[in-house]
Amino acid sequence: MRRIPQQGPSSRQCASAEGIATINQPVIELEAFPCWMAPRAMILGLTGGFGCGKSTTAKFFAERGFRHVDSDLVVREQVLHLEPVASAVRAHFGDSVFLSTGEVDRPALARIVFSKDSERLWLEDLTHPVYYGILRAMLRAGPDVDWLVEVPLLFEKSLENWFDFTVCVASDRSSQLARLEQRGLDRALAEQRISKQLPLARKIELSDLVLWNDGSTGFLKSQVDRIVDSLNPAQAGAHFPENPDVPSSQVRRRNFRP
């Protein structure tokens, strides 16, 4: 059964129709998630190393019927466009991180926050609670939907309890860097960003299910198919198999339904 958190990431803010509202209670509450009790819905949390292939993996899950939420995209296209958030960013970092259009200059902002941990943490404290509010609203609006939520900092922010199972996509370091360089990211900057995340080996250890992306996209897709096929019986109400035919970093499996 999904682990319902009694207390989630602490927060001073959450998203609301008026923008950002101040709150004193934890972001995650049982009452806020009627979808936790949906009889057939499944919520997977997808994480992995920077440049390991999370987006490609998410596409394969979407092809199998999962609704994909890209956390970075939500922050980029929704959270940073909220006037209270943009105003706080301008007040803290100044006009140099804004374009002439008034939008946040994300590359300029990234250069600052990835070079100084205190600035990165300040920005996360501002934007993440707002994102949590948006995600809660999405999940509440689709209680019967199978969700795949892509969260690069899933374990760093202790979000395991949001999900039925956590999935990590991993690859060797050389493949990681090669993919990032193909995106046009300087190797030094890529190394810097990778260093700000939990080590990949630790993410693998903490995850329920692990996908290896060192081969072809066909090989990655076959692993996604095996995971979905193995999860379907649990989704229907049966106990999860004792030895599921999926790559896993854990010996003990949780049962999806009691």
Predicted local distance difference test score (pLDDT) of residue 233: 55
Alpha helices in the chain (DSSP H): 54-63, 71-77, 83-93, 106-113, 117-141, 173-182, 187-195, 200-206, 217-235
Which of residues 193 and 9 earns the better pLDDT score? 193
Predicted local distance difference test score (pLDDT) of residue 169: 92
Task: Give per-residue pLDDT as tens, 198-210.
Answer: 888 899 899 999 9
Lowest mean pLDDT among 31-35, 126-130, 148-152: 31-35
Averaged pLDDT for residues 44-58 = 90
Which of residues 54 and 32 earns the better pLDDT score? 54
pLDDT at residue 17 greater than cutoff 60: no
DSSP notation for 126-173: HHHHHHHHHHHHHHHH-TTS-EEEE-TTTTTTT-GGG-SEEEEEE--H
Predicted local distance difference test score (pLDDT) of residue 93: 96
Which of residues 18 and 194 earns the better pLDDT score? 194
- Calculate the alpha carbon distances from 228 to 11, 68, 92 in Å: 34, 14, 44
Predicted local distance difference test score (pLDDT) of residue 40: 53
pLDDT at residue 61 greater than cutoff 90: yes
191: confidence class by pLDDT, cuts 50, 70, 90: confident
The single-letter DSSP state of residue 35 is G
Predicted local distance difference test score (pLDDT) of residue 129: 94
18: confidence class by pLDDT, cuts 50, 70, 90: very low
CA 171 to chain CA centroid, nearest Å: 18
Averaged pLDDT for residues 96-113 = 93
Question: Would residue 158 be called left, alpha or beta, if left means φ above 0 and alpha means ψ between -120 and 50 degrees?
Answer: left
Record: fold of 13-27+42-235: Rossmann fold (3.40.50)
Q: Which residues contact 74 (CB under 8 A, 6 or more apart)?
A: 131, 134, 135
Query: Minimal CA–CA distance to 9: which of 110, 154, 202?
Result: 154
- Show the tokens assigned to 111: 């250069």
Predicted local distance difference test score (pLDDT) of residue 190: 66
Domain boundaries, the chain: 13-27+42-235
Predicted local distance difference test score (pLDDT) of residue 243: 42
Which of residues 79 and 41 earns the better pLDDT score? 79
